[in-house]
Amino acid sequence: MRRLSRRTVLKGIAAFAGSAGLARPSLAETGLPILRAAPSSAQLAPAGYPATPVWAYATEGAGTVPGPEIRVSAGERVRHRLHNDLPQPTAVHWHGIRIENAMDGAAPLTQAPVSPGDGFDYDFEAPDPGTYWYHSHNRSMEQVARGLAGPLIVEDRVPWLGEPGAATREVTLVLDDWLLNGDATIMEDRWDDLHAAAHGGRMGNTVTVNGAAYPDLDIRPGERVRLRMINTATDRIMRLALPGLSPRLIALDGHPVPPRAIEDLVLAPAQRADLVVDGRKEGNPRAGLLLDPGNGEWVDIAAFVHAGDTVAEHDQDVRPLPAWGTLPTPDLSDPQHVPMLMEGGAMRGMREARYHGKTMGFRDLAAQGMVWAFNGVAHGMDAPLFRASLGRTVRMELTNKSMFPHAIHLHGHHFTVLAKSGSANLAGDVRDTVLLGADETVEIAFVADNPGVWMIHCHMLSHQKSGMMAWFEVA
């Protein structure tokens, strides 16, 4: 056996440092910048409460909630080596990115979950500009609830910021919902709350904006700002308003929309919206970001505080964001029709569903932690919900036969809303996550142009965990 002398070891290290360039501790052996998932702590509750132990992402130093903002230009690559310092296996999903399948992070479908102490190299192109996010996709209910989520911003291909009618500054607002005990620790016995799962999901008691309760954000009078809003909550659908700041919607789930004035904005879990707001020139210097907690009584969750010199007039119409130009147009002349029926939950339930190949009644399903089904199958991971041939247009009819809203997300694709009942969407919107109210139907279409196996699920993670999970194959 060859004994390694101290000299050979040192030589080896020197050679490695040379090949990897700078021997910075944040660079992994592969040379990819590290994205570490590890326990950390964060001051989520208002001042006077202790910090909350969380699980968080870090690119350097201690992990933060939300995780560090990752930014690339459209067409550039996102490159990170996930290093798992958590006590559980994990994986990172890059929500909304039309990504290559092997990089989707959808454990266990597209990769094995990464064990504690291990790593995984994520290296993929981000083709479309917009506001996205990344989050854990293993034991998501628990891991996202503990803080494993962060913003992913893909910058405009054609300059928009600073152009006439556009904003001069942008701010990312990550909205989250935490279920905290009186000592600000996360309630850890609620991941399996089947009662909550059979209703609207696990609701928190502390809403944060960029990881803080009721923060002050600055704005100058007359200043036009782009807000990139992301709902990273596990289950809370957020109805938001920005009275006095004349909000106009410019993008949904990363995709530009013709600028439109809005009274309020509904953001389901995982959805994003980009708004343009104008700082007001007179009146109360504090302008609240308001949330309807579900009873119509708006509460402030953050405040824009007006200070500084007034910015020159912004009388021009809001400049639309540059079009993507990268999304194929669905061919509706002969699409593949895929119905998707959502059933289950409290108050209506379902007579029966298949689970792991066995047909069971509602009580037996509930005993397995399953209270929801797509097309009569709960947690349908054994076989695909549908298969599409590469390049074919798929037209889905999503029907919610339950008493609760659902936020349906397709991996790897964005889709066009064709028709809908209810109020949450407009026909023509392009999204990756669509909200359906009770008894609503939404028709969507997309070109199945991204080969691979892709998850489709409710992004209310309590529902995902308790049956609303499936996948489809494009080949």
- Contact yes or no for 401/342 (Cβ under 8 A): yes
Residue 370, classed as helix, strand or coil, is: coil
Q: Which is nearer to ligand C2O, 53 or 384 (CB)?
A: 384
DSSP letters, 239-283, are EEE-TTS--EEEEETTEEEEEEE-S-EEE-TT-EEEEEEE--SSS
Q: Which DSSP state fits 144? A: H
- Pick one of 166, 237, 366, 460: the residue that binds Cu ion (CB under 5 A): 460
CA atoms within 13 A on the CB side of 411: 28
Question: Which residues from 103-122 bind ligand C2O, rule CB under 6 A?
Answer: 106
| Residues pairing with 372 in the sheet | 344
The Cα–Cα gap between 419 and 429 comes to 10
**Rounded least distance, CB 411 to ligand C2O, Å:** 6
- Contact yes or no for 316/165 (Cβ under 8 A): yes
What would the x/- binding string for ligand C2O be over residues 193 to 222, using CB under 6 A?
A: ------------------------------
Candidates 149-157, 231-239, 281-289, 460-468; binding stretch for Cu ion (CB under 5 A): 460-468
Residue 367, classed as helix, strand or coil, is: helix
**The two three-digit tokens of residue 305, written as one number:** 């505080």
User: Smallest Cα–Cα separation from 229: which of 220, 221, 219, 240?
Assistant: 240
424 interface partner picked from ligand C2O, Cu ion, none, CB below 5 to 8 A per type: none
The Cα–Cα gap between 161 and 167 comes to 5
- Contact yes or no for 41/132 (Cβ under 8 A): no
What would the x/- binding string for Cu ion be over residues 365 to 404, using CB under 5 A?
A: ----------------------------------------
User: Smallest Cα–Cα separation from 121: which of 87, 154, 77, 151?
Assistant: 77
460 interface partner picked from Cu ion, ligand C2O, none, CB below 5 to 8 A per type: Cu ion
Residue 30, number of CB atoms within 10 A of its CB? 13
**Rounded least distance, CB 108 to ligand C2O, Å:** 12
- Pick one of 457, 458, 460, 467: the residue that binds ligand C2O (CB under 6 A): 457
Candidates 256-264, 299-307, 399-407, 454-462; binding stretch for ligand C2O (CB under 6 A): 454-462
Beta-carbon contacts of 448 under 8 Å, excluding residues fewer than 6 positions away, are: 336, 388, 389, 390, 391, 392, 393, 394, 413, 474
Beta-carbon contacts of 437 under 8 Å, excluding residues fewer than 6 positions away, are: 400, 405, 422, 423, 424
What is the arrangement of strands in the sheet containing 452-458, beginning at the earlier edge strand? 386-388, 469-474, 452-458, 406-410, 433-436
Question: Which residues from 243-272 bind ligand C2O, rule CB under 6 A?
Answer: 270
455 interface partner picked from Cu ion, ligand C2O, none, CB below 5 to 8 A per type: ligand C2O
**Rounded least distance, CB 464 to Cu ion, Å:** 7
- Pick one of 36, 83, 93, 272: the residue that binds ligand C2O (CB under 6 A): 93
Q: Diameter of the chain by CA atoms?
A: 81
- For the chain, state the CA radius of gyration: 23
**Rounded least distance, CB 475 to ligand C2O, Å:** 20
When CB distances to ligand C2O are compared, the closest residue is: 95
Q: Which DSSP state fits 192? A: T
Counting contacts by CB under 6 A, is residue 98 touching ligand C2O?
no
Counting contacts by CB under 5 A, is residue 406 touching Cu ion?
yes
The count of chain residues that interact with Cu ion, using the rule CB under 5 A, is 4
Counting contacts by CB under 6 A, is residue 379 touching ligand C2O?
no
Counting contacts by CB under 6 A, is residue 224 touching ligand C2O?
no
83 interface partner picked from ligand C2O, Cu ion, none, CB below 5 to 8 A per type: none
**Rounded least distance, CB 457 to ligand C2O, Å:** 6
- 238-241 vs 70-73, strand pairing mode: unpaired
Q: Which is nearer to Cu ion, 236 or 306 (CB)?
A: 236
Candidates 8-16, 17-25, 224-232, 451-459; binding stretch for ligand C2O (CB under 6 A): 451-459
Question: Which residues from 331-350 bind Cu ion, rule CB under 5 A?
Answer: none
Helices (H) and strands (E) in the chain, counts: 5, 32
409 interface partner picked from ligand C2O, Cu ion, none, CB below 5 to 8 A per type: ligand C2O
Question: Which residues from 401-420 bind ligand C2O, rule CB under 6 A?
Answer: 409, 411
Counting contacts by CB under 5 A, is residue 236 touching Cu ion?
no
- Applying CB under 6 A, the residues found at the interface with ligand C2O are 93, 95, 106, 135, 137, 270, 409, 411, 455, 457, 459
- Applying CB under 5 A, the residues found at the interface with Cu ion are 406, 458, 460, 463
